[in-house]
């Protein structure tokens, strides 16, 4: 047995070293303290409930068709609020906070109001907008990180607070208007009509 030990150690030394995947920092993602590359780790979790559970996210029944909800194995504090529930909707990850009125938090975070009426509140602010190159296509893109708060009818008395990470095409530059030939002069109006 002891003769095999040096052989096993030699074989292990030949294997490529692989670093364990970094744990998902949900609080940093929600508070916009990470980037698009970090947010990319969320998609496999949303697609595979077993991976979500392994990452500390217990899938919950879907009460809103536009977002997937999870209960955290360990509650966290974001924006000064403690929660054990998060939601993922497309490029956004949000904490579900026990906060009936989001306005004081929106003011504290210096967010711009988008919608503010009795049925709906939305506020946000773009924190990052930078030119990048799409690694797959080589095309110029814009990486954007937006902090937002909102209310939603399916969650009365709650506030969704979180971050959207996106990679978008740059706005099209305005092309000069095509040159047009002058239109022929209109025929003179008939006289005496």
What DSSP letter does each residue of 45-97 carry, written as one string?
A: HHH-HHHHHHTTEEE---SSTT-EEEEEEEEEEETTEEEEEEEEETTEEEEEE
Contact 60, 69 (CB under 8 A): yes
CA distances from 52 to 7, 45, 46, 112, 166 (A): 38, 4, 7, 33, 21
User: Using an 8 Å Cβ cutoff, are 158 and 96 in contact?
Assistant: yes
Secondary structure (3-state) at 14: helix
Residue range 79-95, pLDDT digits in tens: 999 999 999 999 999 99
* Residue 190 main-chain phi, psi, to 5 deg: -60, 140
What mean pLDDT is reported for the chain? 82
pLDDT for 173: 63
Q: Which one of 9-23, 108-122, 170-184 scores highest in mean pLDDT?
A: 108-122
Q: What is the pLDDT of residues 101-110, one digit of tens each?
A: 999 999 999 9
SS (H, E, C) 85-148: EEEEECCEEEEEECCCCCHHHHHHCCCEEEEEECCEEEEEEEEEEEEEECCCCCCEEEEEEEEE
Residue with tokens 């008395």: 157
The H-or-E segment that residue 165 falls in is strand 159-168
Tens digits of residue pLDDT in 44-89:
999 999 999 999 999 999 889 999 999 999 999 999 999 999 999 9
Residue, of 129 and 18, whose pLDDT is higher: 129
- Looking at residue 10, what is its pLDDT? 30
């Amino acid at each position: 047995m002891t003769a095999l030990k040096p052989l096993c150690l030699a074989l292990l030394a030949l294997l490529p070293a692989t670093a364990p995947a970094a744990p998902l920092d949900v609080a940093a993602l929600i508070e916009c303290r990470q980037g698009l590359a970090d947010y990319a780790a969320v998609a496999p979790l949303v697609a595979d409930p077993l991976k979500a559970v392994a990452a500390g996210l217990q899938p919950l029944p879907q009460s809103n068709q536009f977002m997937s909800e999870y209960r955290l194995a360990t509650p966290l504090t974001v924006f000064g609020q403690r929660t054990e529930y998060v939601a993922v909707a497309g490029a956004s990850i949000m904490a579900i906070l026990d906060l009936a009125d989001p306005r004081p938090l929106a003011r504290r975070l210096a967010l711009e109001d988008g919608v503010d009426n009795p049925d709906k509140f939305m506020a946000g602010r773009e924190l990052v907008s930078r030119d990048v190159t799409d690694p797959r296509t080589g095309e110029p893109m814009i990486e954007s990180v937006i902090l937002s708060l909102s209310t939603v009818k399916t969650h009365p008395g709650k506030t969704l607070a979180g971050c959207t990470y996106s990679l978008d095409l740059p706005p099209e530059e305005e092309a000069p208007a095509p040159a047009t030939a002058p239109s022929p002069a209109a025929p003179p109006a008939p006289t005496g009509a």
